[in-house]
Structure 1
Amino acid sequence: MNKKLLITGAILGVLGIVLGAFAAHGLRELVSETAIQSFETGVRYQIYHAFLLLILGSTNILKESSKKVVYLLVLVGVLFFSGSIYGLATDDLTAFNFKQIALVTPLGGVLLIGAWTCLLINFLKVQKDN
């Protein structure tokens, strides 16, 4: 599980940097400043959660089952939250109307909150300092 967490964290990090560079350089002439700011919000949250997965994969404080739950919540949460923001910010550039799936964004946010809540609950259950 640790290797999966580390690899996924690294992939999310790489993609976050690529997408951030794309927003800074490739989108400037194509979408509004508001859309760029939204896109950058998606990138920021993706990078935050890439770090979370890297940290989680580097520790043995939590049980494997708890790590799996956090992993799934983060993965789907980032996909829904950041992914939908990327789509909404570039909506004018595509044939697909991302506004039809705008409710996916808050669902993704709830999943990310769930991941952090799961971490908190599991940290509170830890009996001793490791």
Structure 2
Amino acid sequence: MNRTIFITATILGMLAIVLGAFAAHGLKILIPLEAQQTFETGVRYQMYHAFYLFIIGILNTLNDKTKRRIFYLVIIGLIFFSGSIYGLATNTLTSFDFKSIGFITPIGGLLLIISWLILLINFLKISTDKS
């Protein structure tokens, strides 16, 4: 599981840099400043969660089942959250109306929050087990 987490985190980080550069240079002339800032929010959360997955991968206190749960919550959460933000920010550039699926953005955010909650619960269990 750790290898999958590390590879995925690396790909997410690399894509965040590519998307951030694309937003800063390629999208600058195509979409308004507010949409650029929205796009950058998606990039920022993607990068945060790439680092988060690296941390999950190196934590020896988490079992594989917990790591797997967190991993899938983060992946689906990022697709819903950052992915929909990318679509919404560039909505004027495509024929698909991303506003019609904008409701998945908060669902993605909720999945990301749940992944952090699972990590917190595991940390709380560790501290009470050793007391």
Structure 1 counterpart of 2:86: 86
Question: Which digits, 9 at most, give the CA deviation of each residue in 1:54-94, with x for residues without a partner?
Answer: 11111211011110110010000000000000000000000
3-state SS in 2 of match to 1:96: coil
Give the alignment of 1:1-130 within 5 angstroms.
Answer: 1-126=1-126, 127-128=129-130
| Percent pairwise identity | 59
Over the aligned positions, Cα root-mean-square deviation in angstroms equals 1.1
* Cα deviation, residue 98, structure 1: 0.2
**Consecutive aligned runs of 4 or more in structure 1 exceeding 2 Å deviation:** none
Whole-Å separation in 2 of the counterparts to 1:96 and 1:57: 36
The AA in structure 1 aligned to 2:56 is: L
Query: How many pairs does the alignment contain?
Result: 129
TM-score, normalised to structure 2, is 0.96
Distance 1:128 1:61 in 2: 12
Gaps of 5+ in 2: none
Secondary structure of the structure 2 residue equivalent to 1:95: coil
